[in-house]
Amino acid sequence: MEYPARRLRRLRRTPVIRDLVAETTLDAGDLVAPLFVAEGIDAPRPIASLPGHGQHTRDSLRAEVDRLVSLGIRSVILFGLPAQKDATGTSAWDPEGIVQVALRDLRDDHGDGLCLMADLCLDEYTDHGHCGVLLDDGTVDNDATIDLYARIAVAQADAGADVVAPSGMMDGQVAAIRASLEAIGHHDTIILAYAAKYATALYGPFRDAVDVTIQSGDRRGYQQDLRNRREAAAEVLADVAEGADMVMVKPALSCLDIIADVAQLVDVPIAAYHVSGEYSMVKAAAERGWIDGTAVGIEHLTAIRRAGADLVLTYFAAEVAEALGG
């Protein structure tokens, strides 16, 4: 008897046939590796809650990027850990700040063979752990903050960043950054806006990685409420209207519906951040022998791509690229 669905089984019969008709692809070129570079340390420091990752020195960062490039990964995003923090995060826009000097190192090493992205925010640089300047009542001063974001963007672009990635979810951040870049001739600098960034408990290991402790309050007043779906569309459209070249959904795996919505909404490239908690849960289960961690990582990233993401920021980048054969 011939079953109507038999055609689907025929198309799954061998690995070659499955590859031939696969709707979604995943390779190293789709991945962006997040990297942490610290000021004032003599050797890399492992991050216990992010197995396989560490806070890098300038030299160890260069070596790690060489390794990533050898695996076929051509894009990285840098997060900085300054030696000193203050209320306004002044080292974030210092030309000799840790991210700026690291960008220059990597540009010297790889030229245009590497896409250099820089996280653009203040939380790693402020002593209070928030993403912006605080008012007396402890809330973020949006307009004062975006003025500082504009200064950071210029410093990062001057240092060689191809992409600046504002992640603070401030109103008007993209417009302020675009105006500052255009004013000094950085017409080709790409803005990747963290447009739909949700407040979630999944960021814990990342905060360990960048030594960030929120001294009071939380970020729920400026990051999105995880219970809401429609507001993501409004945030994304606003950032594109202000001049974003790409938009980000974060976190990725728990926001597959948002990624799919955004893919139908805009015609700019869509990034998704497979965040630290999503990675660390897999690694913890794999350490106990409950799952094949690499296989699950590939499944996660494939699902994110299937939902509509064009590129994925992930701590699995090196491991998955190696498993895929570079």
Is 85 a catalytic site residue? Answer: no
Q: 163 with 150: CB under 8 angstroms? A: no
| Whole-Å CA distances, 285 to 155, 213, 253 | 40, 26, 17
What's the rounded Cα separation, in Å, for the pair 302 and 274? 11
The dihedral formed by the CA atoms of 222, 223, 227 and 232, expressed in degrees to the nearest 10: 100
User: Measured between alpha carbons, how far is 100 from 58 in angstroms, rounded to an integer?
Assistant: 11
Among this protein's residues, is 197 annotated catalytic? Answer: yes
Largest CA distance in the chain: 76
Q: DSSP readout, 33-83?
A: EEEEEESS-SS-EE-TTSTT-EEEPHHHHHHHHHHHHHTT--EEEEEEE-S
The rounded distance, in Å, linking the Cα atoms of 141 and 146 is: 9
- In 3D space, the residue among 230, 224, 275 whose CA is nearest the CA of residue 252 turns out to be 275
Return the bridge partners of 55, or none.
36, 45
DSSP letter, residue 133: P
Residue type, 67: R
Catalytic residue among 85, 186, 197, 219: 197
With beta carbons less than 8 A apart as the criterion, state whether 235 and 195 touch: yes
Which of 85, 186, 219, 250 is an active site residue?
A: 250
Hey, what are 220's tokens? 């729920």
Answer yes or no: are the C-beta atoms of 312 and 32 closer than 8 Å: yes
Q: For residues 7 and 94, what is the distance between their CA atoms, to the nearest angstrom?
A: 61
CA distance 308 to 293: 23
Question: Which residue matches tokens 């409420």?
Answer: 225
Q: Which residues have a catalytic role annotated?
A: 197, 250
